[in-house]
Amino acid sequence: MTSSGPDLSVQVAGIAMQNPVMSASGTFGYGMEYEEYLDLSELGAIVTKAVTLEPREGNPPPRVRETPAGMLNAIGLQNPGARAFIDEKLPQLREFGVPVIVNISGRSVKEFAQLARMLTVDGVDALELNVSCPNVEDEGMHFGVDCSSTGELARAVVDSTDLPVIVKLSPNVTDIREIAVAAAEAGAHALSLINTLLGMSIDIDTRRPHLGNVTGGLSGPAIRPVAVRMVHEVAREVDLPIIGMGGIMSARDAIEFMLAGASAVAVGTANFVEPATMRDVIRGIADYCRRHDVARVAELTGALRID
């Protein structure tokens, strides 16, 4: 440990980050929306909300529902499309001087590959694949629930770009380790997990779903124990950097993910509760390292003790 404090820098799939804390896709807009709440140049990386080939309006409202210890959302990937993102959003993101990871989503392998080629531009440091979306060429089955689909998709994107490719795994599977292995064997450079758990909430007075889409993704502290367990399982199964996420509200939560095997972490739902959460998590991790004589935060990755 230096006189200036612990070394918080980490490397994830060749992406040099000044600390291991980044935003989770879909919870931080394109970053600029949070400028008045925290200094974005302090983050380890910014992960954008999903970008699709063409603009999308998203799902019908209501789109968000608070739940005990979390929330359900069914936004539906609302975004202006890839061309507008490159022309209007990316130039602003570049100004913060931190790595930019673009989450991409498509309806087919071909769309994902096309997006990858389009987004292989200056200012984009990596691509994160949203495999929790349905594949229209396979009767709507989600890419991320089948090993062969995940592998085919990851391989197509890896072949279409020279950027690091991060596969964001869905927890809505029988065994997430099998999907992780498929992504690794297809050439993925890193994994992020977990995406939201599929959930539902009903208004018992009207007897109707609270969400216009009927079901939505459950996020927040309620899913954290599931997410930590899955990170631990995947870290023992594949030799790839892992970005852990799922209900991180504090530095203690982030460190839990790192001990389970994550090289970095992403903060999502907490940004809605306290927009400056990521700043506090970064400072809290540094404080933990000082108190426990940890010289480099990377030493925490996989440091779980099981006697």
Catalytic sites, residue numbers: 133
Whether 164 contacts 120, CB under 8 Å: no
Distance of alpha carbon 28 from alpha carbon 79, whole angstroms? 13
**Got the DSSP string for 29-91?**
TTSGGGTTTS-GGGSSBEEPPPB-SS-B--PPSP-EEEETTEEEE-----B--HHHIIIIIHH
Whether 256 contacts 298, CB under 8 Å: no
Using DSSP, state whether 235 is helix, strand or coil: helix
Which residue in the block uniquely carries the two structure tokens 């991409």?
104
φ/ψ of residue 293, rounded to 5 = 55, 45
